[in-house]
Amino acid sequence: MEEKILLGHGSGGRMMNELIHTLIREKLGADSVQLDDSAVLAVEKGEIAFTTDTFTVTPIFFPGGDIGKLAVNGTVNDLAVMGATPLYLSVGLILEEGFLLSDLGKIMDSMRRAADEAGVKIVTGDTKVVEKGKGDKIFINTSGIGIFHGPRQRRQIGPGDLILINGFIGDHGIAIMAERNGLSFSAGLTSDSAPLNHLISAIIRAFPDSIKFMRDATRGGLVAVLNEIVQGQGFSARLQEGQLPIRPEVAGVCDILGLDPLYAANEGKVVLVVKKEAGEAMVKIMRGMKEGGQAAVIGEMAGEFPGQVFSRTPVGGKRLLNLLSEEQLPRIC
Amino acid sequence: MEEKILLGHGSGGRMMNELIHTLIREKLGADSVQLDDSAVLAVEKGEIAFTTDTFTVTPIFFPGGDIGKLAVNGTVNDLAVMGATPLYLSVGLILEEGFLLSDLGKIMDSMRRAADEAGVKIVTGDTKVVEKGKGDKIFINTSGIGIFHGPRQRRQIGPGDLILINGFIGDHGIAIMAERNGLSFSAGLTSDSAPLNHLISAIIRAFPDSIKFMRDATRGGLVAVLNEIVQGQGFSARLQEGQLPIRPEVAGVCDILGLDPLYAANEGKVVLVVKKEAGEAMVKIMRGMKEGGQAAVIGEMAGEFPGQVFSRTPVGGKRLLNLLSEEQLPRIC
């Protein structure tokens, strides 16, 4: 019989010690995960970025990744879009009684791989066990610390600035929905979960003065990010529908399930607002990198309809892209 | 009808924005909780402490506190026992569909009060909503950052060193158990949840060279901390049963429920191992402070029975205090 998480694994006794030392810490990296109450980390004088995110995804394994990969990349990306270099992560686990130890092992392996790929260290952690029916297999909180190289600048966004994205829109959300709905033709559709810090670092180095805004488009999708930018402002965000990078498979699943990829979650996409003159060159740099193969200019900030996000259809029509009250999708991340 | 958490509150849409801005961020401190993907924090060059802890307590409101107070104090204390000054906290919420907004509001208020008392700022957060039956009202992760003033030192523990605690043992765990079991005579028994950073800072200032080890005694209680210290070492930890500060009410509940306060969780207790000559003076300092009124020398490190924790009974008997395999109590924190 497969070994399962028991309430005793969360007890503070010997079972918990064994679980943490032989499985969790071993797999996350016994050389980096510190054992004291806090990890002790060296920092340079200056500013650090500090972020937290909790992951509660169903299913926990899906095409292109799992909840562990999401948890590492999500927090890495929250630091990267601030312009910080992600360095250190914490991992807080809530395990449901009965969860398979083998699945926990797979997820810890996946977190370690993702951390290695992003170049961050998991330095501290915590594990709690809840009764069956009081959780959902596994929830993961990752908090993260990054450092800034040089002073941070805030630049004013305005009409004429370009909107860029580093690749296909909506892959994660639609892959999860396809998986949940057992859509067999979805073969090949995978989550885009990926660390964005290397890509962002490359474009900051190449264009230190041209980036006005960066944000990873997760829950709420591209539309949520753009609404946040324009809300209460004297300008709008205008997308050009023909120019949006959307996989045919994603468009297909969206047609069948009645979803809009612009509102779907991404887990490896950054939305950038940049000075007009730098846009095309920045797209070129991103296209030369693993996480930016399908980068594109997808729209621009405009003076018309201030405070709104909208798209122009290929024939010149206008479609308003409001923030939804709730979610178009069942919860996916 | 009372307002409840709905799945839409976790959507990334307008409902989530409203919940975060009008309730969560407002109550946690709109002046300190930053809105970007990460909080940006100033640090001095040197070392920082970084920790994470997730709180999954039932009931969420109990005599002497609630899950929010626990979550702030727990992470503050994990930083303080490292010798660091706690500065910044993150808050990650997992809310169950149907959870009362009024209860959420109370918990956020409580977190803010605890943060103010400890002198830390809540600077970043995240909120997720899970379906009814996939969570348990509210889980809270707090991660924290502290700084070190001056170099940290590791001192060798050995026979003759004294074991100190800042007050009554087992209050939190036994208060929760009494509450769960509806023991009416438990009136007056309350959790000891409290921030320890002010007390620890005072004794470090007074005795910069005398503290060899500090740890907050939470899950697994005093016994878990002492076993961690002596495991695999050439010395033991010997407690003197007559000298242990245990409330009569706690002893009474323990007798009835068959529990041992030495294994029960505390949420405002630090166990110290200190040089023999400093022990009594340190107890005196602690007794002059709010969180140290019942501080005491409770035992010492000994040469006999290396690697073990045991107590001497008033009549000279010996009781072994092994780490339990599981927990003596149903899960309480």
Q: What is the pLDDT of residue B185?
A: 65
Give percent of chain B above pLDDT 90.
74
Q: Mean pLDDT across chain B, nearest whole number?
A: 92
Minimum distance, in Å, between the CA of residue B12 and any CA atom of chain A: 5
For residues B63-67, average pLDDT? 94
Q: What is the pLDDT of residue A333?
A: 42
A46 with B41: Cβ contact below 8 A: no
Domains and CATH numbers, chain A: 34-147 (3.30.1330.10), 162-320 (3.90.650.10)
Q: What is the pLDDT of residue A225?
A: 95
B218 with A12: Cβ contact below 8 A: yes
Q: What is the pLDDT of residue A269?
A: 98
Q: What is the pLDDT of residue B186?
A: 63
Q: How confident is the model at residue A2 (pLDDT cuts 50, 70, 90)?
A: confident
Structure tokens belonging to residue B24: 């969560």
Q: What is the pLDDT of residue A331?
A: 43
Interval B222-276: pLDDT, tens: 999 999 999 999 999 999 988 899 999 999 989 888 899 999 999 999 999 999 9
Residues of A in contact with B40 (CB under 8 A): 47-50, 82, 148, 152
For residues A291-310, average pLDDT? 96
CB–CB of B146/B85 below 8 Å?
Answer: yes
For residues A206-216, average pLDDT? 94
B331 with A15: Cβ contact below 8 A: no
pLDDT greater than 90 at residue A44: no
Interval A157-177: pLDDT, tens: 999 999 999 999 999 999 998
Interval A228-238: pLDDT, tens: 999 999 999 99
Residues of B in contact with A42 (CB under 8 A): 46-47
Interval A178-200: pLDDT, tens: 888 887 666 679 999 999 999 99
B79 with A38: Cβ contact below 8 A: yes
Residues of A in contact with B222 (CB under 8 A): none
CA B126 – CA B28 distance, rounded (Å): 12
Q: Considering only the beta carbons, identify the residue of A40, A52, A77 that sits closest to B143.
A: A52
> How many alpha carbons fall within 13 Å on the CB side of residue B206?
16
Higher pLDDT, B83 or B328: B83
Q: Considering only the beta carbons, identify the residue of A6, A92, A134 that sits closest to B52.
A: A92
Q: Considering only the beta carbons, identify the residue of B152, B218, B324 that sits closest to A13.
A: B324
Q: What is the pLDDT of residue A100?
A: 95
Structure tokens belonging to residue B127: 């909120």
CB–CB of A290/A300 below 8 Å?
Answer: no
Q: What is the pLDDT of residue B257?
A: 86
Q: What is the pLDDT of residue A187?
A: 62
Interval B26-48: pLDDT, tens: 899 888 888 888 899 988 888 99
pLDDT greater than 60 at residue B329: no
For residues B16-28, average pLDDT? 88
CA B319 – CA B310 distance, rounded (Å): 5
A47 with B51: Cβ contact below 8 A: no
pLDDT greater than 70 at residue B300: yes
Structure tokens belonging to residue A47: 């500013």
- H/E run at residue A301: strand A296-302
Q: What is the pLDDT of residue B120?
A: 96
| Chain B interface disruption, residue of A141, A154, A215, A218, most B CBs within 10 A | A141
